[in-house]
């Protein structure tokens, strides 16, 4: 028997004052925000349209920057997670000269990033939310029109509203799976740009998590390939640096750029995927969401009125540079490496070579990927 959850409006009227913070979306971003607000002394309730168990069944693999690890450690959920460190990132293009190596050792960092199944992180966040006594109302929908019942409504999940944002369809899908390789990966991640789209290999346990981009027109064909045929395709796209020996079943997601022009409204804030959805080429999606969460908790957590205009304006200002930078950098990578025109390959190769030869520039790029536009903490 399904138990109906209490109506948030009724709960507010019974208490004769607005509820503090409503978080719409009980996925990893919503739960992380609730924990961050609690650390700063603010109460929040999570409203999730799905069953709580369904939220835990997330098939994605997350690539987290070391800055994201620091935030998750601050939230008290990092210890014990089965995360694989990325110690080196190898960036190159097929059919052209030039390559760049980013190394954690040059930054004196534990790792450039970490890779783990999303389901493991969600389970840790869910346990922490329960232990903190934070209300989690599953099978409950809260729309934009319900914000009068809360001091602040934070939308942490959901698609960007086309009427309120900018949309760009890249005409590509990401085909995701895990693959086994003949030789150890040595904690090296690969970003390989090709004329058909980028290929990313992320170390996950003893295997690699693969993100293979392909045109919309052939995605069904790629998904229907048998294991041997798919591995042959991946080998052609990636090259010979690794020999792939086995693959898990493939899933595919459409790729595009979607972002809200304004991330705040009257007692409303949008963050994470509700504010922006990026191409995975730079691995900024959930990392950007965690930086949104960090900033919002700093601004709203200690405020007597977390939805006050000055609080939300401070949040928007604090996130502007990082958000614009991540969106622009990701979009630039797609445009800059999309063409297989020979002169452009030479220009890109020169850029990769310069990046590899200039330690200060290499350090800047690596820190931007790890910490965003502003160093954290």
| Residue 194 domain flag | no
pLDDT score of 51: 95
| Residue 43 domain flag | yes
**Domain of residue 152, residue span:** 8-164+256-371
Counted residue by residue, the chain has a size of 377
| Residue 2 domain flag | no
67: pLDDT strictly greater than 50: yes
16: pLDDT strictly greater than 60: no
- In percent, the amount of the chain with pLDDT more than 90 equals 64
Range with the poorest average pLDDT among 29-38, 141-150, 233-242, 316-325: 141-150
95: pLDDT strictly greater than 80: no
Q: How far apart are CA 10 and CA 268, in angstroms?
A: 20
List the alpha helices (DSSP H) in the chain: 8-15, 28-39, 52-56, 66-75, 104-107, 118-131, 219-223, 227-238, 285-300, 309-336, 342-357, 359-371
- DSSP letters for 353-370: HHHHH-HHHHHHHHHHHH
Q: What is the mean pLDDT of the chain?
A: 86
Q: How much is the pTM?
A: 0.88
| Residue 308 domain flag | yes
pLDDT score of 376: 44
Range with the poorest average pLDDT among 108-117, 259-268, 329-338: 329-338
pLDDT score of 141: 85
Give how many domains the chain has, as a whole number.
Answer: 1
For 103, the token pair is 């190394």
Range with the poorest average pLDDT among 13-22, 85-94, 140-149, 197-206: 13-22
Long-range contacts at 336-341 (CB < 8 A, ≥ 24 apart): 337/93, 337/193, 337/198, 338/197, 339/195, 340/95, 340/195
Which carries the bigger pLDDT value, residue 337 or residue 237? 237
Q: Once rounded to an integer, what is the mean pLDDT over residues 14-36?
A: 84
| Residue 245 domain flag | no
What DSSP designation does 275 have? Answer: T
| Residue 210 domain flag | no
| Residue 230 domain flag | no
337: pLDDT strictly greater than 70: no
Tell me, letter by letter, the H, E, C secondary structure of 146-176: HHHHEEEEEECCCCCCHHHEEEEEEEEEEEE
Which carries the bigger pLDDT value, residue 296 or residue 18? 296
98: pLDDT strictly greater than 50: yes
- DSSP letters for 75-102: HT--TT--PEEE-EEEEEETTS--EEEE
pLDDT score of 126: 98
In three-state secondary structure terms, 119 is helix
| Residue 244 domain flag | no
pLDDT in tens, 177-219: 999 999 999 999 999 988 888 899 999 999 999 999 999 999 9
CA dihedral for 199, 213, 176, 331, sign (positive or negative) = positive
Q: How far apart are CA 249 and CA 176, in angstroms?
A: 8
List the CATH number of the domain containing 18: 3.50.50.60
pLDDT in tens, 135-190: 999 999 876 566 678 899 999 998 888 889 998 998 999 999 999 999 999 999 99
């Amino acid at each position: 028997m399904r138990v109906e959850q209490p109506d948030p409006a009724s709960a507010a009227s019974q208490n004769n004052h607005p509820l503090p913070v409503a978080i719409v979306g009980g996925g990893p971003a919503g739960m992380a925000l609730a924990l961050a607000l609690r650390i700063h002394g603010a109460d929040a309730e999570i409203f999730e349209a799905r069953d709580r168990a369904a939220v835990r069944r997330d098939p994605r693999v997350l690539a987290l920057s070391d800055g994201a690890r620091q935030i998750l450690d601050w939230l008290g959920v990092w210890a014990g997670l089965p995360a694989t460190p990325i110690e080196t990132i190898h960036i190159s293009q097929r059919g052209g000269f030039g390559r760049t190596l980013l190394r954690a050792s040059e930054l004196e960092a534990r790792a450039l990033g970490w890779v783990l199944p999303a389901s493991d992180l969600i389970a840790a966040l869910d346990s922490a939310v329960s232990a903190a006594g934070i209300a989690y109302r599953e099978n409950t929908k809260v729309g934009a029109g319900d914000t009068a019942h809360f001091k602040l409504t934070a939308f942490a999940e959901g698609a960007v509203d086309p009427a309120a944002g900018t949309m760009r369809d890249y005409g590509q899908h990401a085909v995701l799976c895990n693959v086994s390789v003949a030789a150890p990966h040595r904690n090296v991640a690969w970003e390989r740009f090709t004329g058909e789209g980028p290929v990313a290999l992320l170390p996950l346990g003893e295997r690699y998590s693969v993100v293979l981009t392909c045109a919309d027109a052939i995605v069904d064909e790629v998904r229907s390939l048998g294991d041997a045929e798919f591995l042959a395709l991946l080998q052609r796209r990636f090259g010979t640096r690794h020999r792939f020996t086995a693959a898990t079943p493939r899933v595919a997601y459409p790729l595009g750029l979607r972002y809200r022009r304004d991330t705040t409204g009257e007692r409303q804030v949008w963050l994470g995927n509700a504010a922006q959805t990026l191409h995975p080429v730079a691995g900024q999606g959930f990392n950007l969401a965690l930086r949104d969460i960090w900033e919002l908790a700093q601004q709203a957590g200690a405020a007597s009125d977390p939805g006050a205009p000055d609080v939300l304006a401070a949040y928007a200002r604090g996130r502007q540079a990082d958000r614009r930078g991540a969106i622009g950098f990701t979009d630039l990578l797609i445009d800059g490496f999309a063409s297989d025109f020979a002169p452009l390959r030479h220009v890109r190769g020169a850029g990769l070579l310069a990046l590899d030869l200039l330690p200060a520039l290499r350090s800047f790029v690596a820190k931007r990927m790890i910490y965003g536009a502003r160093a954290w903490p």
